[in-house]
Amino acid sequence: MIVNLYWITLFVLLPVTVLLMNRSLLAKAARSFLAKAKRHTSDTPPLSPTDSVTGEDDHERIKDKEARAFQIKFLKVYLFAMAADWLQGPYTYPLFKTEFEFPEKTVASLYMTTFIAAAISSLLVGFLADKFGRRNACLAFCLIHSLSALSVLSKDLKVLYAGQALGGIGLAMLWTVFESWMVTEWNTRKLGDERLGTMFGTMTRANCSAAVLGGLIGDLAVEVSGTRKGPFVVGVVSAWPLFVVKKAKLTTNIGY
């Protein structure tokens, strides 16, 4: 039996990395569980209505619960989007250089097309998202990213340049419209600035976890498909669940 050091190391480091990045969430969940267990085992009689928490504390608890529920709904969408991008990133250069055997100059120009398109489109993404709705912008990212990823199924340079340009537009949208949509929803629900800071921290940790898992799934896709196109196809599959946005029971198409 051949021992694959890469996979052994990955399966050891992956859970450790995820646990370290989400240790605060795990600690909070543990404290909440222990507090509930303590209340159940305590012999202290229940508090009377006059001894219960104040109305302000009760309101804060309700808002905390609403914030947690919103986090779960939003992260289901956000992490699919981020994973779709993390999947294909490490394989773009090897695909063009090694598998397609393009010269270095052509590979560089394909990369430049992506970044130039991202720079130009970033001037318009915010305006268009405000005008047509941030939820619609998230759905547009899904379509644009899918077309960009599918372009690698062709070796025609015109198709690839178009795909890289779409990839640049999708990149500009990925790092703007989702956060903008989340912040607008958050403020509409009046969940509070302090909780919003916690939400951004949760997004960052979850995104790091998505990057780690994306690397694992991307490597599996290459091994199973036998081509570096595999992660791009899986990225399309990852992006399409974003259409659950339409059924997410969030407020509709918020703009300014």
Tell me how far the alpha carbon of residue 33 is from its chain's centroid.
Answer: 28
- Mean pLDDT, range 3-15, rounded to an integer: 61
Structure tokens at 125: 């993404």
- Mean pLDDT, range 71-99, rounded to an integer: 89
Place 17 in a pLDDT band, splitting at 50, 70 and 90: low
Beta strands in 96-222 (DSSP E): none
Structure tokens at 114: 């992506």
Between the CA of residue 253 and those of 92, 134, 144, 238, what are the distances in Å? 34, 6, 19, 23
- Mean pLDDT, range 218-238, rounded to an integer: 90
**Torsion over CA: 133, 134, 139, 141 (sign):** positive
pLDDT at 248 > cutoff 70:
no
pLDDT at 242 > cutoff 60:
no
Tell me how far the alpha carbon of residue 53 is from its chain's centroid.
Answer: 37
H or E stretch including 93?
helix 92-94
pLDDT at 39: 64
pLDDT at 193: 86
pLDDT at 256: 35
pLDDT at 97 > cutoff 80:
yes
- Mean pLDDT, range 8-22, rounded to an integer: 64
pLDDT at 89: 86
Structure tokens at 184: 């607008």
DSSP assignments along 189-236, one per residue: TT--HHHHHHHHHHHHHHHHHHHHHHHHHHHHHHHHHSSTTHHHHHHH
Mean pLDDT, the chain, as a whole number?
80
- Alpha-carbon Rg for the chain in angstroms: 22
pLDDT at 29: 62
Q: How is residue 251 annotated by DSSP?
A: P
Q: Which residue has the higher pLDDT, 216 or 162?
A: 162
pLDDT at 126 > cutoff 80:
yes
pLDDT digits (tens, 9 = 90+) for 32-80: 667 666 666 655 555 444 444 456 677 788 888 899 888 888 888 888 8
The two most distant CA atoms of the chain are separated, in Å, by 78
H or E stretch including 111?
helix 104-132
Q: Which residue has the higher pLDDT, 108 or 79?
A: 108
The domains of the chain, with CATH numbers, are 70-247 (1.20.1250.20)
pLDDT at 251: 43
pLDDT at 81: 87
Q: Return d(Cα 229, Cα 251) in angstroms, integer.
A: 37
| Residue 21 exposed, middle or buried by CB count within 10 Å (0-12, 13-18, 19+) | middle
pLDDT at 254: 40
Helices (H) and strands (E) in the chain, counts: 10, 0
